[in-house]
Amino acid sequence: MGIWDAFTDLVEAATPWSTAEAEAPPPEEKESESQDKGSEESKDGDESKDGGESKDSEEGVEEEAEEDAGEEEEEEDDEELEDPKDKLEEACKNSKTCAPAKHHYDECVERVTNQSDDGDSEAKEDCVEEFFHLAHCATQCAAPKLWSVLK
């Protein structure tokens, strides 16, 4: 404990903002902290994207509703939990921007399945490249939307 530490302690005591504690804080404080953080996050989202913020708040409302509701309902909700990534990418695949890629992929799948059905042998080509193009298009389109939904 040098003279410098003493000074640092004095300054820390005087400053309005407090340093993060490594020790476990009392539970009440923790709750308020988490709420603060949640509000900060929503503020961040508010600055970047308006849509994200509104979704966050919606989610918050849903969560609170879940807490209030009984366990049975919670279990039902858990079963219905759907990955937003799958949903967004599916929408992106069917969107106009990815129409060419999807067209090529569908055509390729049809061709290859026909080949393997007719010849009873393994197909001469695969649709990996077409799949790549479609997946690339879909993920690219879904990325910003996904990040606005995820916490």
Partner 1 sequence: MLARSCLRSTRILNGARNGATALTKRPISSYSSGASSESPMKLNMTAAASTALAIGSVAWYYHLYGSTAQAMTPAEEGLHPTKYPWVHEHWLKTFDHQALRRGFQVYREVCAACHSLSRIPYRSLVGTILTVDEAKAMAEENEYDSEPNDEGEIEQRPGKLSDYLPSPYKNDEAARAANQGALPPDLSLIVKGRHGGCDYIFSLLTGYPEEPPAGAQVGAGLNFNPYFPGTGIAMARVLYNDLVEYEDETPATTSQMAKDVVEFLNWAAEPEMDDRKRMGMKVLAVTTVLFALSVWVKRYKWASVKSRKIAYDPPKASNRVRD
Q: Does residue 11 belong to the site contacting partner 1 (CB under 8 A)?
A: no
d(CA 104, CA 99): 9
Q: In the bound complex, what is the minimum distance in angstroms from residue 13's beta carbon to partner 1?
A: 20
Q: Which of 71, 41, 68, 62 is nearest to 53 (CA)?
A: 41
Q: Does residue 130 belong to the site contacting partner 1 (CB under 8 A)?
A: yes
Virtual torsion, Cα 128, 129, 135, 137, nearest 10 deg: -170
User: Crossing angle of helices 84-93/128-149, nearest 10°?
Assistant: 130
- Residues within window 34-53 making contact with partner 1, judged by CB under 8 A: 34, 37, 41, 44
Q: Does residue 143 belong to the site contacting partner 1 (CB under 8 A)?
A: yes
Q: Does residue 5 belong to the site contacting partner 1 (CB under 8 A)?
A: no
Cα distances from 82 to residues 44, 55, 85, in angstroms, run 25, 15, 9
Q: Does residue 20 belong to the site contacting partner 1 (CB under 8 A)?
A: yes
Q: Give the burial string for 124-138 (b: 16+ CB within 10 Å, else e).
A: eeebeebeebbeebb
Contact region with partner 1 (CB under 8 A), list: 3-11, 95-103, 104-112? 104-112
Phi and psi based region of residue 120 (left: phi greater than 0; alpha: psi -120 to 50; beta: remaining): left
Binding-residue total with partner 1 (CB under 8 A): 46
Q: Does residue 97 belong to the site contacting partner 1 (CB under 8 A)?
A: no
When binding is defined by CB under 8 A, the residue of 2, 22, 28, 68 that contacts partner 1 is: 22
- Contact residues for partner 1 (CB under 8 A)? 20, 22-25, 34, 37, 41, 44, 59, 63, 66-67, 78, 81-86, 105, 108-109, 112-113, 116, 122-123, 125-132, 135-136, 139-140, 143-144, 146-147, 150-151
